[in-house]
Amino acid sequence: MSIVGASEQTRERLLTAAREVFSECGFQGATVREICRRAGANVAAVSYHFGSKDGLLAEALHFESLRLLQEANACAAACPEVRLGLFIRDFMHMLLDENNASSQCRIMARELADPSPGLDKIVREAIAPLHDFLARLVREIVGDKVGDAELRRCAYSILGQCSFYHHSHPVLQRLHPELRYDSKEIEAIAKHIADFSLHGLKYLGKTA
């Protein structure tokens, strides 16, 4: 028996493979067989380790990086306008990076289009805190005159702009095949969204 149990290794390989496959094919489209194949495990391994395909999805989801992003932002010693810009930049990097970490986002996007048992957990543990965080940040910028419904819409405007680049990626790829989400492009996008949004927010804060 090594320091890390053999079982633990298989579990991790299964989780990694599951994130890949779920993000590529969605929950319904993903097959246990393909996940096990990529993890180099037997078909029965998913049942053994996670009980079922649903259980595997539940465990495959974790939102550490999203949480860290919010914490780092909250700690930043800067005015709310700057912090919003930082948040948008970090969020866009997370959304568009081709890294492994962003598979969580792809799974989330899948779940939105075709809700499965996993969506409730995602909403509870990832999206609701994110919305709350962003709403608080926006509140700092627009002040207290703006009503709660309108405040939520401001947060939606920001999140909508950000997630557009992610979930419309298949379309944008077809419209502009030359487009690459390299670091420079992501920075440019983030800057655009921040500028665009800040002026929208400022105006709403004044007229509310």
Name the residues that contact DNA, by CB under 7 A.
1, 5-7, 9-11, 30-34, 41-49, 51-54
The listed partner (DNA, its own copies, none) that binds 65, CB under 5 to 8 Å by sort, is none
Q: For tokens 């579990």, name the residue.
A: 11
Alpha-carbon dihedral angle through residues 38, 92, 189, 110, given to the nearest 10 degrees:
50
The reply to whether 82 sits near its own copies by the rule CB under 8 A is no
**Contact region for its own copies (CB under 8 A) — 25-33, 49-57, 64-72, 93-101?**
25-33
Name the amino acid, one letter, at 33. Answer: R
- The secondary structure element, H or E, covering residue 187 is helix 183-207
CB of residue 127 vs its own copies: minimum separation in angstroms?
A: 5
- Using CB under 8 A as the binding rule, whether residue 123 contacts its own copies is answered as yes
Taking alpha carbons only, the member of 70, 64, 62 closest to residue 136 is 70
Say which entry of DNA, its own copies, none residue 192 contacts (CB below 5 to 8 A, set by partner kind).
its own copies
CA 156 to chain centre: 14
With beta carbons less than 8 A apart as the criterion, state whether 208 and 147 touch.
Answer: yes
Q: Does 16 bind its own copies (CB under 8 A)?
A: no
* CA 67 – CA 91 distance, rounded (Å): 11
Considering only residues 145 to 164 of the shown chain, the ones binding its own copies according to CB under 8 A are 149-150, 153-154, 156-157, 159-164
Tokens representing 48? 């053994």
> Which residues of the shown chain bind its own copies in the complex (CB under 8 A)?
25-26, 28-29, 109-115, 119-120, 123, 127-128, 131, 149-150, 153-154, 156-157, 159-165, 167-168, 170-171, 174-175, 188-189, 192-193, 195-197, 199-204
